[in-house]
Structure 1
């Protein structure tokens, strides 16, 4: 049974591992320069080329797409293809039981997918490690590794996603008994999961931290305007720019969420104007004075966030979550194979 499964699986496995090897070559050629630049103490962001930034986001996209593609093209046809052609009956009429047949196919495929995605993620994580969260002197930056843009494309989580995608595809293939519908639904469900988890699940895997800050120019990140022209929202940062900010709300002296005061629009400096042709003694408003007035009137900024040092605890928690879901889907696969297939 193992030999037969390998014969059916070897072409897809060879293609995937060749792609991983190609990524490894790119990583080995381009990565050492970035690590050396980071160790030199120079401002890394301002020394990045367009190719470096393109490779950074290409790595994010590649690791995000790999589990979905593997789930659709490996997991979904794994059993559905056998059911479509009736070849499962030939195996079941031999000495191989249904349980052993499914366990061998699902086990080898899942192991191969987890190993390939693990190698791919390790290479991309190592290459990207100097760049994650890099800031420039003008406050330009690349996303940190705890942000939704990068978190699921670093560390252990992609391996959990790959296992889940394969088992999800196999489950849908067994239930639908058709490869193409199972592949399409696998892609749709997995895409939904990749959007839903960072929005509704990941922030609560570990209880987030909360801090209430006074306003200062040092902590100020941005002030956004409303359609009417006045300030609508103000955002501060925590002490560590690598923290994942979940909510950034202004509260009043009673601790209740509130809108910014109307006077703030007149207090803040406006857009830069061309230099006047004649000297003027009028001075632009001082942003520090505006922030001090907010503090004096009892306004504060309440920030709910996940600290950057929780990266690995969140990685383990989310990986464990997907392995548990994979186990439940796997149990459904075996039950359906024994009880519902003929």
Structure 2
């Protein structure tokens, strides 16, 4: 049964593992030079990286993101949907193999292969990127590269990609089992997986570990401030290297949450074009003089691993729940 299952998706597996191996070789060749550069440049490393290494940095992010999605679409969704679509599952069940064993073999082998592929990819990319990550966490070039806690980089580091891959694979299998058509199952898997990947950083990840808060004054020479939504929202960026800002709240002189006063928008208004820098500084100074401050909620850099393990548990829990659903469905509904 294991041999038969492997034969069914060995081509897709071979293609993905070959791509992962090629990337790992490139990273292994170029990584030591980047590490040597960090030892001499320290936090200034980000300003000395070549364009080729910069491209490789972003390529690594994209590849780690792509591996679970590809696994869900091309390994998970067709694995059972194709058999249900063609009717070949009847042959297996009539050879003395129970539905539960048939499903368990497919899920078990596929999940192990999925986690291995994602784990190797994440390990290679995390190792290669570690000098850049250390430089960024020390306060270097965050406008070009991402702190490890930033939503763009977080899911491409550590152990989380393995859990993403296991979840994507089982999600594809579950959708294939329910939809029973390969192409619709593949498309639905990609759409649903992408939606979950957007939803988790926005609504769940900020609450998976205890956050920190800081209150900064609103003043031209203070923490960098950006103005959004037509001067109705202020966003402050305190100097907390490697942190991930998750929430902003404007406070009035009494320390209570309050909207930005309309006088601030009036101060920034001009007859034509955007306000000049001096005008913006003056308006910000006036707002600060009224006692307004900005409260920033953030995940500190030290929360990287607690968040990694928490999110890993979340996705593995979802994968186990989907596994239970698949077992129930194939016993009760599939025929």
Q: TM-score, normalised by structure 2?
A: 0.88
2:47 corresponds in structure 1 to: 46
- The alpha carbon displacement at 1:32 in A equals 1.4
Write the mapping of 1:1-342 to structure 2, written as runs, cut at 5 A: 1-41=1-41, 43-132=44-133, 134=136, 140-215=143-218, 219-224=222-227, 233-254=233-254, 255-259=256-260, 261-262=263-264, 265=268, 271=276, 294-342=287-335
- How big is the alpha-carbon RMSD for the aligned residues of Structure 1 and Structure 2? 2.6
Partner Cα distance (1:218, 1:29) in 2: 44
**Which consecutive residues of structure 1, in runs of 5 or more, have no partner in the other structure?**
273-283
- Aligned residue pairs, count: 324
Q: Alpha-carbon deviations, 1:183-233, whole Å to 9, x = none?
A: 010001001011111111111122422221234666422333776xxx665
C-alpha distance in structure 2 between counterparts of 1:226 and 1:166, whole Å: 40
Distance of 2:149 and 2:280 partners within structure 1: 34
CA offset digits 1:248-275 (Å, max 9, x no partner): 3332112222316538659xxx747xxx
Q: Check 1:216–1:32 CA distance in 2 against 1; reply closer, same or farther (3 A cut).
A: farther
Take 2:229 and 2:81, find their aligned partners in 1: how far apart are those partners?
53
Task: Give the secondary structure class of the aligned counterpart of 1:220.
Answer: coil
Deviation string 1:53-102 (CA, Å, 9 cap, x unpaired) is 22111111111111011101000011111111211111111121111111
Structure 1 residues 53 and 243: alpha-carbon distance in aligned structure 2, compared to 1, 3 A threshold: same
CA distance in 2, matches of 1:69, 1:99: 26
Task: Report the TM-score when normalising by structure 1.
Answer: 0.86
TM-superposed deviation, 1:237: 2.8
Residue 291 of structure 1 deviates from its aligned partner by 6.6
Listed one character per residue, the Cα deviations across residues 309-332 of structure 1 (whole Å, up to 9, x for unaligned) are: 101101111110111111111011
Change (3 A) 1:271 1:217: closer
Q: Output the CA distance in 2 between the equivalents of 1:200 and 1:126.
A: 29
Normalized per residue, which structure has more helix? 2
SS at match of 1:112: helix
Deviation of 1:160 after TM superposition, in Å, equals: 0.7
For residues 305 and 241 of structure 1, what CA distance do their matches in structure 2 show? 11
Seen in structure 2, the aligned counterparts of structure 1 residues 161 and 309 have a Cα distance that, compared at 3 Å, is same
- The runs of 5 or more residues in structure 2 that have no matched partner are 270-274
- Report the 3-state secondary structure (helix = DSSP H, G, I; strand = E; otherwise coil) of the residue aligned with 1:131: helix
SS for the counterpart of 1:223 is strand
Higher alpha-carbon Rg: 1
User: Cα distance, 1:341 vs. partner?
Assistant: 1.6
